[in-house]
Amino acid sequence: MAVVKTIVKDRVFQITAIIAILSCFLARPRLADINFTTLWSLLAMMTTIQIFEHLHVLDFLALELSS
């Protein structure tokens, strides 16, 4: 619950949320406006990074690059 309170108190989040809500009223989003290829690519990239983080591959690479 503390994480939610921290996110809600964030000033940048508040401004972004207000702009997003206003944009929904000014211009209705359509399904055709969404580029699903980009969404799937981002999902694959985030999943790969999470797997690498879980396996500590990124820690190993950081140590190798810094030494």
Q: Where are the domains of the chain?
A: 2-66
Position 46 scores a pLDDT of: 96
CB count, 10 Å around CB of 52?
14
The residue type at 36: F
pLDDT digits (tens, 9 = 90+) for 2-56: 888 888 888 999 999 999 999 988 988 789 988 999 999 999 999 999 999 999 9
What the block records as the tokens of 46 is 């985030």
